[in-house]
Amino acid sequence: MMRSTLTAALAVLPVALATSWDVSVGPNGQLIYYPEYVLAEVGDTINMIFHPKNHTVTQSSFDAPCVPLAGGVSSGFLPVASDSDPELPNFVITVNDTNPIWIHCEQKGHCGAGMVFAVNPPDASSNHSFAAFQALAIELNGTQTSALSVSTPPPQSWATATATVSDASSTWVSTYTSYSGTPEPTYAAGGPVTHNITVGINGQLAFGPANISAAIGDIVEFTFLAKNHSVVQSSFPEPCTPLVDGFNLGFHPVDANVTGPSFSITINNTSPIWGYCAQTNPVSHCGSGMVFSINAVETGPNNFAAFLALAEATLANSTVKDTSGATASSGSSSPSSTSGSNGALSVVGDVNMGGIGMVLATVAAVIVGML
């Protein structure tokens, strides 16, 4: 009887000693799995815990890090709005043998940015180590075997235009550059409208909304949320490079669950305005798609989708320029005091400096009172 009891105890011992490994998917808004790999035994489970944004846990192979493995495990996309959710979603992988398991995130641009994971990778001295796997993912730029090729639409033909726009009490005279398809300047019917754009909406590397249309006199208000983002004006052909004489609101670190500073832009004409977040730590926010546009011409080649594709291509091709003039990792920089070179806007920022608002640019349009 004693022998039978001992045999039964030994039979369940491997199960009792099985380890559950917790792995965070996209913690703190980063494009990483943490830890990056684990060394597990047969019977162990890997508990993949999803954090904000929209990630996957998808099995691949060493030679094709960012291509789903036929018949491999996949969590599918699991969007998470906030780390404050009472129950973060998870996905469990059971280890059936000690062969390496290679994992990546299928979200566009994430694997190519190094968002990969492994179970039981060979040690660092091997040419099949985790570091080699991650380097190959970055080298192959996601699912590509070479750098992404995104064609820039031909340059638009710009011309100088002067418009006079009136409402019941004022006349606006604006001289600006424009191109075919740009909406005719009109004053907002019923008076100016305030458009709200959230910087880092829902903890994501995104502006929300990212593409809006605004009339002359409208106000666009940027409100910063958690993490450390910026709002920098750029141009269509170079989405992630500051526009010479464009506006730059600097970096504004904001704690979780706190609403940060806000900046208001007054629209002076309907020329397109392009912009991005200049943060590059741990990955380029612009290259991850954190861009916005105001009055993009959606009927032509220089539309918002094309602008977004050009921005994401900079990450894949590693050509993002960090010329924001501020330290990307932490802290904040003083906002630039320039207005857009196309005269399309004015900027006013409330940075909570002793209750005094900071005027960042002067109004480019001339307001003449009605006689």
Asked if 229 and 199 count as a contact pair (C-beta separation under 8 A), the reply is yes
Q: Does domain 2-139 have CATH number 3.30.1330.90?
A: no
pLDDT attached to residue 23: 95
Phi-psi region of 75 (alpha: psi -120 to 50; beta: other; left: phi over 0): alpha
Count helices and strands in the chain by DSSP H and E runs: 3, 24
Write the DSSP assignment of 94-124 as a string of letters: E--SSS-EEEE--STTTGGGT-EEEESPPPT
* Neighbour-count burial of 325, counting CB atoms closer than 10 A to its CB (0-12 exposed, 13-18 middle, 19+ buried): middle
**Sign of dihedral through CA atoms 164, 165, 170, 175?**
negative
pLDDT attached to residue 344: 59
pLDDT attached to residue 28: 87
Measured in degrees and rounded to the nearest 5, phi and psi for residue 359 equal -85, 120
pLDDT in tens, the chain (371 residues): 444 443 444 344 444 578 999 999 998 888 999 999 999 999 999 999 999 888 999 999 999 998 888 889 999 888 887 777 778 899 999 999 999 999 999 888 889 889 999 999 999 999 999 999 999 998 886 544 334 445 555 555 555 555 555 555 666 555 555 555 555 555 555 678 899 999 998 888 889 899 998 888 889 999 999 889 999 999 999 999 999 988 888 899 998 888 889 998 888 888 899 999 999 887 788 988 899 999 888 887 888 888 888 888 877 554 444 444 333 333 333 333 333 334 555 555 433 322 222 223 322 333 223 33
Rounded CA separation 295/211 (Å): 8
Which of 121, 77, 74 has its CA nearest to residue 93?
Answer: 74
Q: In this structure, what DSSP letter does residue 27 have?
A: G
According to DSSP, the residues that pair with 46 across neighbouring strands are: 21, 93
Phi-psi region of 53 (alpha: psi -120 to 50; beta: other; left: phi over 0): left
Rounded CA separation 291/276 (Å): 4
Residue type, 197: I
Pick the CATH number of 159-369 from 3.30.2350.10, 2.30.110.10, 3.30.43.10, 2.60.40.420: 2.60.40.420
Kindly report, as residue ranges, where domains of CATH 2.60.40.420 are found in the chain. 2-139, 159-369
Question: In sequence order, what are the residues at sequence separation of 6 or more whose Cβ sits closer than 8 angstroms to the Cβ of residue 43?
Answer: 14, 15, 18, 94, 95
pLDDT attached to residue 331: 34
